[in-house]
Amino acid sequence: MIPRPFAEIASVGAAVPPRAVTNAELSRTLDTSDEWIVERTGIRERHVATAAQSVAMLAAEASRDAMDRAAIRAADIDAIVLGTASPDRLLPSTACDLQALLGAHNAAAFDVSAACPGYLYALTIAEGLIASGQSRTVLVVGAEKLSTITDWEDRSTAILFGDGAGASVVRRSTRAGRGILSTFIKSDGRLAELLYRPGGGSADPISERVVCSRNHYMKMAGREVFKAAVRTMAEACDEAIRRAGVRPDEIDLLVPHQANIRIIEATAKHAGMPLSKVMINVERYGNTSSASIPLALDQAVTDGRLRSGSLVLLVAFGAGFTWGSAVVRW
Ligand code: UT7
């Protein structure tokens, strides 16, 4: 077995649909206000794709960005692992549609259904594919069109979610010590019905009844989910740091899932990180589920907050419940 780090994140890329929906715009159709949304969530706007923009198309834009930055061609990709909670179709995977768009004909392609930590689950799988010698270069993607599974008449969820995609090229480590130092993923399926889509799957296939009861949309018990997010993201931070064998004060940047500014602040407090060392962009994009971490990573690189050698802690929580974390030497 080759020693860790086996794999590094060579590059990241992002894609966000141009149309931004502000809190003021939502307040015109929902019993809510900019003040309430900003105070309770930190969100000011979220981006929404057009009917013509698919998840695979957003993913392809982000992927091409990442591939250009890592100077790789589509033919170099051995596997595409795509996290999504809003696949374009239930069959086949959105990863296969992405593969076709990119022309990545040498790749195996599949989706990971792990909700908001989808990118971290995909990263963990990519690391394993590389460590086992199955793959040299893996495209790891988180892509969502949550606007299509959001109930725009439900003020408790409609204010939260947005569309977007983030991608990264993950490959065998090229420099000693650079790469993924630890990963941690965990789930608790007993809590599934606190955040879920009751209808539209095989258990209750799409029907007039499902649509009329709005059961094909996401339902969330916000307060319970909030508490679980704070608890599990704290556990995940500790575990990734322990497994990486680093000290908490060595972490240069915390990149948490962007669900709610209050969850981010609680996570940062637990990890002992001042907010100056935390990547926050929830105000611009809202909760983009599996796209959230790669979108934040992309911005951190663009803003110069992540440089070669930086030690970064990634952490996320979502429906399932699922949670996960990673420590990466950039
Ligand atoms: O990606 C991972 C999964 N998702 C999350 O991590 C989200 C976790 N949960 C949250 O972020 C928060 O629970 C919310 C932002 C969803 C809600 O904030 P909260 O502080 O937990 O509010 P609440 O659900 O306890 O509701 C407080 C009040 C209620 O009114 P009453 O019963 O006190 O009269 C709600 O009806 O706020 C009301 N409310 C709203 N008011 C204005 C709920 N949504 C809205 C709204 N605008 N959009």
CB 325 within 8 A of CB 87: no
Residue 1 lies in a domain: no
Are residues 189 and 141 located together in one domain of the fold? no
CA of 126 from ligand 1 middle (Å) equals 35
Choice from 22, 34, 39, 40 to test ligand 1 binding pocket (greatest atom count within 8 A of CB): 40
CA of 15 from ligand 1 middle (Å) equals 28
- Band the pLDDT of 330: cuts 50, 70, 90: very high
Nearest-atom number in ligand 1 for the CA of 260 is: 11
CB 139 within 8 A of CB 79: yes
Are residues 150 and 107 located together in one domain of the fold? yes
Asked whether the bond before 92 is cis by omega within 30 degrees of 0, the reply is: yes
CB 16 within 8 A of CB 47: yes
* Both structure tokens of 131: 């460590």
C-alpha R_g of the chain = 19
**Residue 40: predicted pLDDT:** 98
Q: Which of 23, 47, 96, 116 is catalytic?
A: 116
Instruction: Choose one of 142, 160, 176: the last residue of a domain.
Output: 176
Are residues 195 and 87 located together in one domain of the fold? no
**Residue 176: predicted pLDDT:** 86
CB 92 within 8 A of CB 38: no
Task: Round the average pLDDT of the chain to a whole number and report it.
Answer: 97
Are residues 167 and 250 located together in one domain of the fold? no
Number of residues in the chain: 330
**Residue 271: predicted pLDDT:** 92
Q: How far apart are CA 321 and CA 318, in angstroms?
A: 6
Binding pocket residue ranges, ligand 1, CB within 6 Å = 32, 36, 40-41, 116, 155-156, 159, 195, 222-223, 225-226, 229, 259-260, 263, 287, 317-318
CB 138 within 8 A of CB 110: no
CA of 226 from ligand 1 middle (Å) equals 9
Task: Report the percent of the chain where pLDDT is more than 90.
Answer: 97
**Residue 229: predicted pLDDT:** 97
Choice from 44, 119, 260 to test ligand 1 binding pocket (greatest atom count within 8 A of CB): 260
**Residue 175: predicted pLDDT:** 87
CB 214 within 8 A of CB 276: no
Are residues 189 and 149 located together in one domain of the fold? no
Q: How far apart are CA 185 and CA 183, in angstroms?
A: 7
Residue 43 lies in a domain: yes
Nearest-atom number in ligand 1 for the CA of 229 is: 6
Instruction: Choose one of 153, 176, 199: the last residue of a domain.
Output: 176
* Both structure tokens of 178: 């650079």
* Average of per-residue pLDDT across 305-325: 97
Beta bridge partner(s), residue 180: 328
Is residue 239 pLDDT above 70, yes or no? yes
Specify the 3-state DSSP secondary structure of 14: strand
Name the residue among 233, 247, 250 with its Cα closest to residue 293.
233
Nearest-atom number in ligand 1 for the CA of 156 is: 44
Active-site annotation holds for 106: no
Residue 145 lies in a domain: yes
Is residue 73 pLDDT above 70, yes or no? yes
Are residues 190 and 142 located together in one domain of the fold? no
CB 57 within 8 A of CB 101: yes
Name the residue range of residue 154's domain. Answer: 7-176
- Helices 34-41 and 261-271: angle between axes, nearest 10 degrees: 20
Are residues 65 and 112 located together in one domain of the fold? yes
Q: How far apart are CA 33 and CA 170, in angstroms?
A: 41
Are residues 156 and 203 located together in one domain of the fold? no
CB 173 within 8 A of CB 6: yes
Choice from 27, 30, 226, 293 to test ligand 1 binding pocket (greatest atom count within 8 A of CB): 226
Residue 194 lies in a domain: yes
Are residues 59 and 156 located together in one domain of the fold? yes
Residue 146 lies in a domain: yes
CB 281 within 8 A of CB 220: no
Are residues 95 and 121 located together in one domain of the fold? yes
* Average of per-residue pLDDT across 224-253: 97
Is residue 233 pLDDT above 70, yes or no? yes
Residue 205 lies in a domain: yes
Active-site annotation holds for 287: yes
Nearest-atom number in ligand 1 for the CA of 41 is: 15
Q: How far apart are CA 128 and CA 175, in angstroms?
A: 18
Strands (E), 16-70: 20-22, 45-47
Q: Whose CA is nearest to atom 8 of ligand 1?
A: 226
Residue 287 sits in a domain whose CATH number is 3.40.47.10
Nearest-atom number in ligand 1 for the CA of 157 is: 16
Are residues 276 and 317 located together in one domain of the fold? yes
Is residue 252 pLDDT above 80, yes or no? yes
What's the total number of domains in the chain? 2
Per-residue pLDDT tens over the stretch 116-159: 999 999 999 999 999 999 999 999 999 999 999 999 999 999 99
Burial state string for 96-120 with b = 16 or more CB within 10 A and e = fewer than 16: bbbbebbebeebbbbbbebbbbbbb
Contacting residues for 130 by C-beta, under 8 A, at least 6 apart: 6, 7, 136, 138, 170, 171, 172
**Residue 82: predicted pLDDT:** 99
Is residue 1 pLDDT above 60, yes or no? no
**Residue 2: predicted pLDDT:** 60
Q: Which of 2-16, 57-71, 273-287 has the lowest mean pLDDT?
A: 2-16
CB 215 within 8 A of CB 147: no
Instruction: Choose one of 115, 148, 176: the last residue of a domain.
Output: 176
Per-residue pLDDT tens over the stretch 103-115: 999 999 999 999 9
Residue 289 lies in a domain: yes
Residue 296 lies in a domain: yes
* Average of per-residue pLDDT across 150-178: 96
Are residues 31 and 171 located together in one domain of the fold? yes
